[in-house]
Amino acid sequence: MIKSFKHKGLEKLFLNSDASKINQEHTKRLRLILAIIHKAKIVEDIDFIGANLHELKGDRKGIWSVTVRANWRITFKFENGNAYILDYEDYH
Active site residues: 92
- The vertex-69 CA angle with 34 and 55, nearest 5°, equals 65
Q: Which phi and psi angles does 57 have, rounded to 5°?
A: -120, 175
- What is residue 47's DSSP assignment? -
The helix (H) or strand (E) run that includes residue 68 is strand 64-69
